[in-house]
Amino acid sequence: MDDTRRQTIEELLLNALAPAELLVKDQSHLHQGHEGAKEGKGHFEVTIVSDRFSGLGRIARHRLVYDALGTFMESDIHALRINAFSPAERQEFGPTDL
């Protein structure tokens, strides 16, 4: 597993969305043989908590994440699962539910 892409995703999201919490998981090894894997792109899951998500719906939150990742979405990411929460939602769910 190449940790460089995961680190790049973290840096881009930290800089753009100033999250209170951020977890990026590289799940590429679970998708060997898929089209994206054949192209060398990765599969990732992002859990992110940011004030920027307050008052926004799911699609708007995903757009913010995609915008933050920019061209990296096209060059290195085949699939991205996004779990985006506001700080208030994070408190509601508690530490084990994210």
Q: Is 18 left (phi over 0), alpha (psi -120 to 50) or beta?
A: left
| Strands, E assignment, the chain | 21-26, 42-49, 77-85
Range of the domain at 44: 3-93
pLDDT band at 60 (very low <50, low <70, confident <90, very high): very high
Q: Which of 13-17, 40-44, 71-75, 94-98 has the highest mean pLDDT?
A: 13-17
Among 4-13, 42-51, 86-95, the least confident range: 86-95
Is 82 among the domain residues?
Answer: yes
d(CA 88, CA 54): 8
Residue % of the chain over a pLDDT of 90: 69
Is 45 among the domain residues?
Answer: yes
Half-sphere exposure of residue 72, counting CA atoms within 13 Å on the CB side?
20
Q: Are 69 and 36 spatial neighbours (Cβ–Cβ below 8 Å)? A: no
CATH code of 10's domain = 3.30.300.90
User: How many structural domains does the chain have?
Assistant: 1
What is the pLDDT averaged over residues 8-19? 98
